[in-house]
Chains A and B, each alone.
Chain A
């Protein structure tokens, strides 16, 4: 290996990716190919201006800015949003004291956001995949409800949590300890009880404050936040659509390998599906319909699709799941929406598109954002240019060094 050549490259790249705040600066990213994520589609040769964390102009008549970044015709996308992982709640899977995703006693209102660690080593690594935001979910706890999701930005700053309680997560389908009917029944009973209580509260205040679990359910019933229902078998998904219609809630189906069989019903009921882009094996009898073609078929049927990968350490690979879905028939715009606009819409993020007035959550790519050969050139979170350097880079540089020093002195 030519180590000297290697080190030169490294220093160039490190300098290029060095983070510096641009908060009050006005910055222009010139000559970019913008994947807007809106009806405007892809725009070529655009100068995008950022100020105060927002996109403030497309192609202004004059570029009077503090700083210019030459886009060199490269692709600019919205920052990608990872969904339904445990980012910031798990450092190392097998180290219990580094895991905070599962409570001893959960419930619809369990909120894990106070346990979120913005300094986790997983976040810089995730940024290498163009991820700027994530929906973090409590872990499955063998109960119907695992709790509330919360929304974070991947800035590594202490104020990273943007929204506490962005959805309520519940689990349906085959179980080793109970009939799957029990969870449908329990959900209906929980909703019925709250509907009844709320009706009573309207006429007479009994002075009792609702519990955190009741509050979470009330928010779902009030359509403030969606119910995220893990389910795979087509018949289970239809049961959930029925419940959605009965109670008038917002619903997304996660897992959803059987969604393709009931895609018309999902589209009609405006139910989003959250799937893995490369899940294609029948892991159990609920998921016999798993296929690489599902994302494309759902998208074509007008169902909103979100790509999610529960492996928090590898959410940087979400863009490749989108790429694989594209190669099996999904549209590029559909795949982009599945990592940007669609999760933003269901989980209540601002942005998810590149438009004037939207938060400047942006990624400038070296090439096709879904292709393995491409990498993140620059990344902005709320207008702040943010580095993708990670602990992995430090380890690599330490062990390919030709300095002759003991490795431990190379920092």
Chain B
């Protein structure tokens, strides 16, 4: 992405023109990296002191009988015997407090409820490479699934395009607040994601039409041709920048919306989110990222990540996994319930539990619990403090928002869930959910239970 602001450009132009005395330059061609900016606003930043709760910080730590202070939309302090003169006190006795839950893989709004023919907006299956589509342009904010997910403690989520294409388009990260526009939900300053897909889906979609790709080698050829073109595109813009800065008056390259996105990947501004089940395919995607010079990012639906946990950790890559989905395709046949725990056991790992579902997104805590308990039965050294990172801190890292949310460290955004009991219980419920210190859900107070326009007034 090109991050230079318009105002700066005009000034730079004047200076350059003035200094060199050459023929005047044309105005510099700039590409706005953020044409659909976030308009998200916090409604009210509450000052809240949660007293005497069991706190999982998302940093791997657990504090019993601890307090959490929320001020000015941020986590202000976590510890024992915190006092504050004017804060609203929440009795945390018997309750558990965690960072807001983050799902790195959702299609809410793009494949919303009701799942009717007018609402199938998640998969632009008209070409195997559609890096030019942005899923934010498909999102229906009235999807009742956003509200259901919030009741399950989801405070941030990435909406991704579907997996029919090799390169399916940009994903977007949202704050899970009810709003009438996508922009009003958009997580400020979160990097874009780019959805890619390995394996069976793209080759089935296009192969069945006798189009490329028809095979897995066709898949690889498709990504490589796209990134080879992106390298050329980036080079042409880099040259334009250089020549312009040198006082020349170069002709700007033709704008290509598809290539803009891949250029963003090559420049590290857009993070790869790759639907990729199988060990051998993930290993090739890692090599391919090195071939073209970008990070392979996060592997989603990484059913076979346990076979290559070391490789993923060595390359600083995340794997987002289900606890138990399997068997719907050959590439999902080798599932093991302990997958995330095996991935997590390597130093520098980044294990994530994701949903890809409007149903399980409501219970990511239970999805993580399934992995935790099955792994503990097999002798893995995992507890709640560790397992919560799979749906908070590690998810934030994958999305590139870990400097802002995902843990209860001081200064982080106050995205917080108060649970009625240990969140790894089937009986646990989110009682209160805060986004940036604003209460957006309360189990016991209808005033804080949002209803989508679609459900309003239905008999």
**Chain A residues within 8 Å of B, Cβ to Cβ:** 1-2, 5-10, 13, 90-95, 121-122, 176, 278-285, 287-288, 313-314, 316-317, 320, 323-324, 326-327, 370-373, 375, 392-393, 395-396, 399-400, 407
How far is the CB of A148 from the nearest CB of chain B, in Å? 24
Q: B115 to chain A: which residues have CB within 8 Å?
A: 283-284
Total A-B contacts with CB atoms under 8 angstroms apart: 125
Q: B342 to chain A: which residues have CB within 8 Å?
A: 1, 396, 399-400
- Is B329 in contact with chain A by the CB < 8 A criterion? yes
Most chain A CB inside 10 Å of its own CB: which residue of B328, B333, B336: B336
Most chain B CB inside 10 Å of its own CB: which residue of A283, A288, A375, A396: A396
Q: Which 8 A-B pairs have the closest CB atoms?
A: A1-B345, A323-B426, A9-B379, A93-B328, A6-B379, A313-B327, A94-B329, A327-B427
Size class of the contact patch on chain B: 35 or more
**Would B426 and A93 count as touching, CB distance under 8 A?**
no
Given contacts A94-B330, A327-B428, 10 further A-B contacts (CB under 8 A): A5-B379, A10-B378, A121-B327, A278-B362, A280-B148, A282-B114, A284-B115, A313-B325, A392-B337, A396-B338
How far is the CB of A302 from the nearest CB of chain B, in Å? 24
**Would A282 and B455 count as touching, CB distance under 8 A?**
yes
CA distance A283 to B113 in the complex (A): 5
CA distance A313 to B204 in the complex (A): 22
Q: B327 to chain A: which residues have CB within 8 Å?
A: 90-93, 121-122, 313
Q: B237 to chain A: which residues have CB within 8 Å?
A: none
B327-349: CB near A (< 8 Å → 1, else 0) gives: 11110011111100010011000
- Is B429 in contact with chain A by the CB < 8 A criterion? yes
Binds A, one of B69-77, B369-377, B402-410: B369-377
How far is the CB of A406 from the nearest CB of chain B, in Å? 12
CA distance A323 to B425 in the complex (A): 9
CA distance A282 to B147 in the complex (A): 12
Q: B307 to chain A: which residues have CB within 8 Å?
A: 399, 407
How far is the CB of B442 from the nearest CB of chain A, in Å? 16
5 A-B pairs within 8 Å (CB atoms) are namely: A92-B330, A282-B144, A284-B116, A375-B377, A399-B306
CA distance A395 to B114 in the complex (A): 38
**Would A278 and B114 count as touching, CB distance under 8 A?**
no
CA distance A313 to B328 in the complex (A): 8
**Chain B residues within 8 Å of A, Cβ to Cβ:** 113-117, 144-145, 148, 200, 204, 306-307, 324-330, 333-338, 342, 345-346, 358-359, 362-363, 366, 369-370, 373-374, 377-381, 424-429, 454-455, 458
Which residue of B306, B369, B426 contacts A327 across the interface (Cβ within 8 Å)? B426
CA distance A314 to B429 in the complex (A): 23
CA distance A10 to B377 in the complex (A): 9
CA distance A317 to B322 in the complex (A): 13
CA distance A320 to B323 in the complex (A): 13
CA distance A55 to B114 in the complex (A): 48
Q: A90 to chain B: which residues have CB within 8 Å?
A: 327
Most chain A CB inside 10 Å of its own CB: which residue of B115, B326, B366: B326
**Would A6 and B114 count as touching, CB distance under 8 A?**
no
**Would A372 and B425 count as touching, CB distance under 8 A?**
yes
Q: A392 to chain B: which residues have CB within 8 Å?
A: 335-337
**Would B114 and A283 count as touching, CB distance under 8 A?**
yes
CA distance A13 to B378 in the complex (A): 8
CA distance A372 to B374 in the complex (A): 9
Q: A375 to chain B: which residues have CB within 8 Å?
A: 373-374, 377
Residue on B nearest A394 in the bound complex, by CB: B336
How far is the CB of A233 from the nearest CB of chain B, in Å? 11
Which residue of B204, B333, B336, B458 contacts A288 across the interface (Cβ within 8 Å)? B458
**Would A281 and B336 count as touching, CB distance under 8 A?**
no
**Would B363 and A281 count as touching, CB distance under 8 A?**
no
Q: A13 to chain B: which residues have CB within 8 Å?
A: 377-378
Contact A92:B329 (CB < 8 A) given known A2-B379, A285-B114, A371-B427: yes
CA distance A280 to B338 in the complex (A): 28
CA distance A294 to B413 in the complex (A): 36
Q: A324 to chain B: which residues have CB within 8 Å?
A: 363, 366, 426
Which residue of A10, A288, A323, A396 contacts B306 across the interface (Cβ within 8 Å)? A396
Q: A316 to chain B: which residues have CB within 8 Å?
A: 324
How far is the CB of B86 from the nearest CB of chain A, in Å? 35
Q: A400 to chain B: which residues have CB within 8 Å?
A: 306, 342
Which residue of A121, A283, A396 contacts B378 across the interface (Cβ within 8 Å)? A396
**Would B328 and A372 count as touching, CB distance under 8 A?**
no
**Would A1 and B378 count as touching, CB distance under 8 A?**
no
